[in-house]
Structure 1
Amino acid sequence: MNQAEAEAFLFREVRLLDRRKFRDWRQLLTDDAIYWVPNGDPDSDPQRHCSIVYATPAMVDDRLERAESPFYWVGDPPIRSVHTVSNVLLERVDATQAELACNQVIYLYRDNDQRRDQPLDVLPAQCDYRLKRAGDGWRIAYKKVALLTGDGLVPLLPPII
């Protein structure tokens, strides 16, 4: 993996999220992946402290099942996102693994729900990824989305950010 491949992978990943193709995004995860959105201190131990999300692939499947349910009131109208990815840093890479870091700004909105007195929710984040080679592509073994505002009031979120 080189810098251009790392950036292209991240751009494709967030494009799936922005298009609400969560099941396709789920296919990017390895069988033993961890998806983590810390609550507050991004260096805390997720086994000992509360997280906004701390999920294995099975838990992600459960989140998506609930989000697809007609009883998922928080998703009506759906929460949509626009991700901006920058400052992509390829920290370590070898033939089978790559570690990436990047900054993201995640804009959240709902269809037909924007008024002048309710601006978009803006979530700046620092993200860490560990990717594993799978066949001729890469999959996510670890993703941490450390929201810079994660220690305060967090707006309603889509199933995956």
Structure 2
Amino acid sequence: MSTPTNQQLIDFVVAEANLLDELRFDDWLALFTEDGRYWMPLAHGQTDPRLHASLMFEDKLLLKVRIERLHGARTFSQQPTSRCHHLLQQPVVTARDDVAGTYTCRTAFHYVESRRDTQTLYAGWATHTLVWQGDALRIQLKRVDLVNCDAAFGNIQLFM
């Protein structure tokens, strides 16, 4: 097993956001472990997605279904296609366990989702729990904490 440097962990997080901005959702999904999760808490400081409601708590299968919907010819909410842009602060490696092969990065972000004449701005922090599998890093958990997580939202079409 190889041990990634902090710079490799940071580069992984930045590359992951670039895949989303390029709408390369299948490549993005491939970054997740088989038991990977995408979590967007509904409350500040939320510690358990199973005991409390969340904006999103999706496993790899549900992420795949959402991606298939985004690609669908009959998905009228995506005609024209939504676009997005991540503006990331420098990711910070907040924890690393080289023996277990697990790493945590936290990144402050501004995210814009755009479709037709509407642009929606979100701000928050993404926390990536990364694991070393085989010869590559994979996402075990991506947690997206929005600054205004308890606000009323319209449809969030893409992934932050």
TM-score tier, shorter chain, comes to 0.7 to 0.9
Q: 1:45 to 1:65 in 2, by over 3 A?
A: same
Show the 5 A alignment for 1:1-161.
Answer: 1-95=4-98, 96-110=101-115, 113-114=116-117, 120-161=119-160
Structure 1 runs (4+) greater than 3 angstroms displaced: none
Conserved 8 A contact 2:113-2:158:
no
Distance 1:66 1:2 in 2: 36
Cα RMSD (Å) of the superposition?
A: 1.7
Distance 2:78 2:72 in 1: 9
TM-score by length of 1: 0.87
Conserved 8 A contact 1:10-1:85:
no
Distance 2:68 2:23 in 1: 14
User: Any unmatched runs of 5+ in structure 2?
Assistant: none
Distance 2:21 2:15 in 1: 10
Conserved 8 A contact 1:127-1:145:
yes
Distance 2:131 2:79 in 1: 35
TM-score by length of 2: 0.87
* Identity between Structure 1 and Structure 2 (%): 23
What is the count of residue pairs matched by the alignment?
155
User: Any unmatched runs of 5+ in structure 1?
Assistant: none
**Segment of structure 1 superposing worse, 70-79 or 91-100:** 70-79
SS of the counterpart of 2:8? helix
